[in-house]
């Protein structure tokens, strides 16, 4: 009996070791990170995401966006989830997030459920964001991909970094390209990942400038939007980012070709030759869009993760331990 359990311990530890080192993988992240530590973790995340999206379709968009806002600010380290304290400069109040980023309660639910099924806090909040983003896209009819895992959670946040590093909806193509470049991402990543705007909504204050001032906008489209997003007031009125905000389809790109992008930054993708070529190809080839979106979001998920014994595994995604 003692021998048997020693034997099992050896097999298990060598399996765990091989899960961590058998094949070379980028940035120390691997899709198999939780296979032996807690195989129930990923199915649990999927269950909670599916229930949340069933209850409110928009939640899929909101969860996908959280992973993006996490990764672009000091890497994918769960920093976007931290609430303010005297020592935490919460990113939730940065301009791109304040009254805009949402889904934090769903992340709390996922964390509670994952820790319950695993019996202890072994799954990082940063990994939860990455998996929830994938499961959200799948729940809204989009592609799936293997999420690389093993990120750990930061012990700090930076509102300043969030303000400086997130792209803004008024950016032109060169600024967008430069913003993504600073994250190690290419034009193709920019165009493919902007396809995330095939789902979800934006507030009037983020597209007012476009509907009143841009010339590369469909006239009827602009006029219609101006009726509920006037020059002043109604800042929080919502418009869908494409005509099918709960379906991960290619209409976002089709709309760019007819000058019906909602954000100035969306329409900007049709203003440069190499970006426009990609917009065109994604507009009629959902397989190309899906494949490139999956590739690019994995690349985004690799941005500066904390690994090994860096950072921590938070018990509560809103607070450092
Ligand atoms: C390329 C630069 C980008 C800019 C300037 C940008 C900007 C914005 C803005 C202004 C909104 C509306 C927020 C509001 O009105 O409250 C929004 C929504 C959204 N963004 Fe982006 N975004 C960009 C790229 C991305 C990327 C890379 C992703 C994910 C991979 C993403 C996912 C989303 C989603 C899903 C929504 C809808 C969220 C919801 O309905 O709750 N965006 N974005
Ligand atoms: C965030 O939004 C609230 C309004 O809901 C506002 O009072 C506050 O000043 C904003 N914070 C920052 C830092 O802009
Ligand atoms: C349109 O552009 C002008 C000049 O740049 C600016 O003053 C004005 O605030 C803009 N209008 C809107 C609705 O953003």
Closest CA relative to residue 189, chosen from 284, 297, 269, 264: 297
The whole-number pLDDT of residue 28 equals 87
**209 Cα nearest atom in ligand 3:** 14
The DSSP annotation for 36-57 comes to: TT-TTHHHHHHHHHHHHHHH-T
**What pTM was estimated for this model as a whole?**
0.93
Supply the residue whose CA is at minimum distance from atom 35 of ligand 1.
61
The whole-number pLDDT of residue 2 equals 42
In a 3-state reduction of DSSP, which class is residue 153? strand
Supply the residue whose CA is at minimum distance from atom 11 of ligand 3.
209
Chain centroid offset of residue 279 CA: 20
Identify the nearest ligand to the CA of 104 by its number.
1
Identify the nearest ligand to the CA of 183 by its number.
1
Identify the nearest ligand to the CA of 167 by its number.
1
The whole-number pLDDT of residue 30 equals 97
- Would the annotation count 242 as a binding residue? yes
Supply the residue whose CA is at minimum distance from atom 5 of ligand 3.
213
- Would the annotation count 77 as a binding residue? yes
Of 32, 67, 69, 264, the catalytic one is 69
- Would the annotation count 165 as a binding residue? no
Supply the residue whose CA is at minimum distance from atom 9 of ligand 3.
209
The whole-number pLDDT of residue 27 equals 61
Q: Which fold is adopted by the domain 173-299?
A: Peroxidase; domain 2 (1.10.420)
Supply the residue whose CA is at minimum distance from atom 4 of ligand 2.
99
The whole-number pLDDT of residue 24 equals 42
pLDDT in tens, the chain (321 residues): 344 343 444 334 444 444 444 444 456 899 999 999 999 999 999 999 999 999 999 999 999 999 999 999 999 999 999 999 999 999 999 999 999 999 999 999 999 999 999 999 999 999 999 999 999 999 999 999 999 999 999 999 999 999 999 999 999 999 999 999 999 999 999 999 999 999 999 999 999 999 999 999 999 999 999 999 999 999 999 999 999 999 999 999 999 999 999 999 999 999 999 999 999 999 999 999 999 999 999 999 999 999 999 999 999 999 999
- State whether the beta carbon of 98 lies less than 6 angstroms from ligand 2: yes
- Would the annotation count 73 as a binding residue? yes
**How far lies 86's CA from each of 93, 100, 201, in Å?**
14, 23, 33
Please give the distance, rounded to the nearest whole angstrom, from the Cα atom of residue 54 to the centre of ligand 1.
Answer: 21
Please give the distance, rounded to the nearest whole angstrom, from the Cα atom of residue 209 to the centre of ligand 3.
Answer: 6
Is 69 in the active site?
Answer: yes
Domain with CATH 1.10.420.10 in the chain: 173-299
The whole-number pLDDT of residue 108 equals 98
- State whether the beta carbon of 209 lies less than 6 angstroms from ligand 3: yes
The whole-angstrom separation of Cα 44 and Cα 118 is 10
**93 Cα nearest atom in ligand 2:** 13
- Would the annotation count 136 as a binding residue? no
Please give the distance, rounded to the nearest whole angstrom, from the Cα atom of residue 236 to the centre of ligand 2.
Answer: 13
The whole-angstrom separation of Cα 234 and Cα 80 is 27
Domain with CATH 1.10.520.10 in the chain: 26-165
User: What are the percentages of helix, strand and coil residues in the chain, rounded to 5?
Assistant: 55, 5, 40
> Which of the listed CATH numbers 3.40.50.1820, 1.10.520.10, 3.30.9.80, 1.10.10.10 matches domain 26-165?
1.10.520.10
Q: Which residues contact ligand 1 via a Cβ below 6 A?
A: 58, 61-62, 64-65, 68, 100, 102, 167-169, 171, 176, 193-194, 196-197, 199-203, 206, 263, 265
- Would the annotation count 11 as a binding residue? no
Chain centroid offset of residue 218 CA: 29
């Amino acid at each position: 009996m003692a021998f048997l359990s020693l034997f099992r311990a050896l097999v298990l530890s060598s399996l765990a070791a091989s899960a961590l080192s058998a094949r070379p993988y980028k940035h120390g992240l691997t899709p198999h990170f939780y296979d032996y530590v807690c195989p129930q973790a990923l199915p649990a995340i999927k269950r909670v995401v599916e229930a949340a999206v069933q209850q409110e379709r928009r939640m899929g968009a909101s969860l996908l966006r959280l992973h993006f806002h996490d990764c672009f600010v000091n890497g994918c380290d769960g920093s976007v989830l931290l609430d303010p304290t005297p020592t935490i400069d919460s990113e939730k109040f940065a301009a791109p997030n304040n009254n805009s980023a949402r889904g934090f309660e769903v992340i709390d639910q996922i964390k509670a459920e994952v820790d319950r099924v695993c019996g202890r806090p072994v799954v990082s909040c940063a990994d939860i964001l990455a998996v929830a983003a994938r499961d959200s896209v799948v729940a809204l009819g989009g592609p799936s991909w293997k999420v690389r895992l093993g990120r750990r959670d930061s012990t700090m946040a930076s509102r300043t970094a969030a303000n400086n590093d997130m792209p803004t909806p008024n950016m032109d193509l060169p600024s967008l390209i430069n913003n993504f470049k600073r994250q190690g991402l290419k034009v193709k990543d920019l165009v493919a990942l902007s396809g995330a705007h095939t789902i979800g909504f934006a507030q009037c204050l983020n597209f007012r400038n476009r509907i009143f001032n841009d010339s590369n906008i469909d006239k009827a489209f602009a006029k219609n939007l101006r009726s509920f997003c006037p020059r002043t007031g109604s800042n929080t009125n919502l418009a869908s980012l494409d005509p099918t905000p709960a379906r991960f389809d290619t209409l976002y790109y089709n709309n760019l070709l007819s000058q019906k992008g909602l954000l100035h930054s969306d329409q900007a993708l049709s203003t440069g030759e190499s970006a426009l070529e990609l917009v065109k190809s994604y507009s009629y080839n959902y397989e190309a869009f899906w494949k490139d979106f999956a590739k690019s979001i994995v690349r985004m998920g690799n941005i500066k993760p904390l690994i090994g014994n860096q950072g921590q595994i938070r018990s509560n995604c809103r607070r450092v331990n």
